């Protein structure tokens, strides 16, 4: 299964991934970081696209 992973050191909280894929990503820590809230939803929306919209390349997709 493909799982999106956010590198919190890189994430700047821009919200692009949340806009694109709100079932999977959520902004937390007062909007400072994106967290993966439901990685199993990754099969229904394209998280590789989310990885593509991230301006700092903080999202990677791990195959597990």
Determine whether 31 is exposed, middle or buried from the number of CB atoms within 10 Å of its CB (0-12, 13-18, 19+). Answer: exposed
Is residue 36 involved in binding ligand SF4 (CB under 6 A)?
no
- When the beta carbons of 8 and 44 are compared against ligand SF4, the nearer one is 8
Is residue 12 involved in binding ligand SF4 (CB under 6 A)?
yes
Q: How far apart are CA 7 and CA 59, in angstroms?
A: 6
- When the beta carbons of 14 and 45 are compared against ligand SF4, the nearer one is 14
What is Dmax (Cα atoms) for the chain? 30
- Name the residues that contact ligand SF4, by CB under 6 A: 6, 11-17, 34, 53-54, 56, 58-59
């Amino acid at each position: 299964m493909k799982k999106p992973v956010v590198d919190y050191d890189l994430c700047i909280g821009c919200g692009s991934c949340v806009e694109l894929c709100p079932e999977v990503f959520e902004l937390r820590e007062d909007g400072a970081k994106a967290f993966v809230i439901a990685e199993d939803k990754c099969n229904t929306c394209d998280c590789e696209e989310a990885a593509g919209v991230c301006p700092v390349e903080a999202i990677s997709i791990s195959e597990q």
